[in-house]
């Protein structure tokens, strides 16, 4: 399988009530609908992946990787998982 930066390798459902908070946005939280294994680094002989939330903002789905690529690091993402 060829991995590209930002590609998703697998997805699993998220626990109800899980959400992310995004700095500079007034909303109390944006729902996490799943967890994804996302390719975060590709080199000639290695691939790095990380587990990231898949969340909804204004009807669009994002992983943390996609959010930072679209919005930049100024709008940080904080994951909130209910106990």
Query: Which string of DSSP letters, residue by residue, matches 9-62?
Result: EEEEEPPTT-EEEETT--SS-EEEEEEEEEEEEEETTEEEEEEEEEEEETTEEE
Does residue 2 have a pLDDT over 60? no
Q: Considering only CA atoms, which of 44, 45, 42, 68 is closest in space to residue 55? A: 68
Distance CA 31, CA 7 (A): 21
Residue-level pLDDT at 55 = 93
Residue 41 has phi, psi (to 5 degrees) of: -155, 135
pLDDT in tens, 39-83: 887 777 777 888 999 999 989 999 998 999 898 888 889 999 888
Among 13-17, 24-28, 55-59, the range scoring the smallest mean pLDDT is: 24-28
């Amino acid at each position: 399988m060829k991995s590209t930066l930002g590609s998703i390798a697998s997805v699993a459902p998220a626990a109800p009530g899980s959400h992310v908070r995004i700095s500079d946005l007034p909303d109390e939280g944006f729902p996490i609908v799943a967890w994804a294994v996302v390719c975060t680094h590709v080199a000639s002989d290695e691939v790095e992946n990380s587990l990231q939330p898949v969340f909804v903002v204004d009807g669009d789905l994002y992983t943390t990787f996609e959010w930072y690529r679209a919005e930049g690091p100024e709008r940080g993402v904080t994951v909130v998982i209910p106990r």
